Every structure is written in C-alpha cells, then in structure tokens.
Structure 1
C-alpha cells in the first residue's frame, strides 16, 4: 500500500513539472484585468474670466441666482459646454424661502434644492443662500483635466471605460466609470480606480 501512495505522489509531481528542470524561468504573472478602451489625452485648460453671459445690472434676484448655479454647474462638470439655468421667476430674496432650480450641462439636467438665508454681513445688497444638487455630473474632459492636473508631468495618458461627453452620476459615491493613469515610460497594467462625482468636480479614488 505504501508503494502505491508514493507512486501517486510521484505522478502528480511529474505532471506539475511537465518534464522540465523545475527551475523558475523568471516570467512574471500577467494581469487578469482588462485594459480599458478609451484613451484620454491632455485637454485644453479651462478658460479664464467670468462665465458668459452674465446678468444685467438690473437683473431680478432669480436671474442672479440662476447665474450662480450655472457657475456651480460648470465647476461640477470641470469642463466647458452649453450650460443653462432656471429658477422660479417670482423667487424672492426673503430669508427662509425655499425653491427648486434646474440647470443643464450639455442637456444633462440637475435639480438644486435652494434655501434663501439672511442678508450678508458685508452688504445689505448681498443675500446668503445654500444650493444642494440632487445628483452630479461627470464629463470626459472634466475627468481628463482632473487626472492631468493631479499627475502633472508624470502622466503619459489615461485609459477609461468610455466616459461620455457628459452624464448624470450620483454624488459622492463610486460611479460605474473607472480610469487607469499610465505613467510616462510605462505600459498599461489593467488596474483602474473608480471616478466619483462631487459638487465641486470629479474625484479619482
């Protein structure tokens, strides 16, 4: 019986070595992750200056608020594109007023919960307010701008899983989009991290 057991062990060992010398050939294991298909190159910098068009000097409070929400929407997208905003035309600046305003970035809609506060301590002409988006926006250019800004001179390019020009995304949580940063002189590894939408722009972690 002991001979049979020893023979069985020898067969397994022989099968594992495949008749070779048993020495390690030094080959590194390959990543089982898929290299992502969408290449992101360095985008142009964001334009400087105020977002256009800006409200007229005698614009209603709702128009001024809509303009501020357009600016916030551009910051969230971290990209340039067609931006619209609309608040109730009869929205006043009385403290405690609440309303829903709507912005779009390249036709991706975001609704904002707006609450009007008191007068600013700096000027009676300034009104404090809070505006909370109900969802976020991710943009292809915005993610590229984030990655090239974070990795600066080290990044060669980024690979992602087909982020659209603009798409709605939940705020502050992992989205379905992922990217890999490929450094200069390196090859893609296939290991990617998720992209997240926040109210101040995309994040990568």
Structure 2
C-alpha cells in the first residue's frame, strides 16, 4: 500500500516588545531628539491582480508513484503557497528517500528559476498509511503578485491601490524577517502617506507588518 503524505503545520508566534521610557522630568528642549524620517511617495503602483489559477491544474501523483515523487509534489504545492503567485515550479528530492519515521533529507524547489532548499523530516505513519512530515525552507520567496493579492485581500473593499518600492516579479528574501521591500496602502478617498511598511516572506505566503 502506498503511503500518503500529510504536512505537520507549525505555527510561529510573533512577539512585539514595547520599549519603556526612562524616568525623570522631561524638559522642553528636544534638541537631542532624532529627526523623523521624511515621507517618500513610492513609485511602483500595485493594482488588484487576477485570481490565482486553480491549484488542481497540476494532477496528483499516480497511485504507483514513489515516495520521493509524492514528496516533490507536496513541496511544489508549498512553494506555490509561499510565492502566492502562479509560475514555473520544480521540485527535486533524493530518489532513495524513505518514508521511515525520523528520516531527514534536503530537497530543492525552484520558482521561476529561484532555488530554495528545504529541510525535510519524516514523521510517523497513521493507521491509514498517511505519512506526517515537516518541511522548512532555508529562505523565502517574495513575488509582486503575491504581495498585491495579500494587500487587496487584507483591505478588501477599502483599498484604492498600493504603492511599493519596485518589488520584482519574484525574488529571494529572508524568511520571516523584514525584507528590503515595503508598501504604502492607499485607502479610497485618501492620499499616499509616504511611509511604507515592510513586506516579509513566510512559508505560507507574504506578510505585511
């Protein structure tokens, strides 16, 4: 009986720390205070992108597919979710990887030619021969369309457009950390604020905070 694969979702918590102010009386002289950054209107306008193509466009592996082929299929799906956009995706895992509990291996995927390595650990099998696994990318992928879908989804009905600082069609980015790209969401009836928030790559798609 062939083993099915189920990903184990690990949710990371984001902690925000607030810095306290020092004691003592505040004087009226603010000569030592740092100047506020100047507002800059960003040049790249992101309009609402088309809907994502149906994920079912890629058929599931055949019933007699190897465990490696099933794992590659799962990682292609994960890469698509991370990018939040349609594109050319490939995956490659060692052909001899086994579905035994505790097995660790490294697989590679590409999105539009950008390569990401994944640390994969195989877990236990269920009563129905479903194999659990975790797959952690070593870096992330940001896409222009993925960021646009995120912003228009988060601010649905109130966003007019978004201004960003030249996000490429697809680019590698640190995972979970602020990237060098940011956006300013412009609401209907309002003008750009001139201040951008960073966008981040995560294993489940771009984030904006």
TM value normalised by structure 1: 0.81
Q: Cα deviations across residues 92-113 of structure 1 (Å, max 9, x unaligned)?
A: 1111111100001111111000
C-alpha displacement of 1:54: 3.0
Q: Which structure dedicates a bigger proportion of its chain to helix?
A: 1
Equivalent position SS for 2:195: coil
Match of 2:133 in 1: 129
C-alpha displacement of 1:117: 1.1
**C-alpha RMSD over aligned residues:** 1.3
Q: Cα deviations across residues 56-111 of structure 1 (Å, max 9, x unaligned)?
A: 22110000000000000111111111110000011111111111000011111110
Greater Rg by CA: 1
Q: Cα deviations across residues 3-58 of structure 1 (Å, max 9, x unaligned)?
A: xxxxxxxxxxxxxxxxxxxxxxxxxxxx9311111110000111234251432221
TM value normalised by structure 2: 0.80
Do 1:51 and 1:71's aligned partners in 2 also have CA atoms closer than 8 Å?
no
**Ranges in structure 2 where 5+ consecutive residues have no aligned partner:** 1-36
Match of 2:193 in 1: 189
Match of 1:155 in 2: 159
Alignment of structure 1 residues 96-135 onto 2, 5 Å:
96-121=102-127, 123-124=128-129, 126-135=130-139
Alignment of structure 1 residues 15-94 onto 2, 5 Å:
32-94=38-100
Match of 1:15 in 2: none
**Ranges in structure 1 where 5+ consecutive residues have no aligned partner:** 1-30
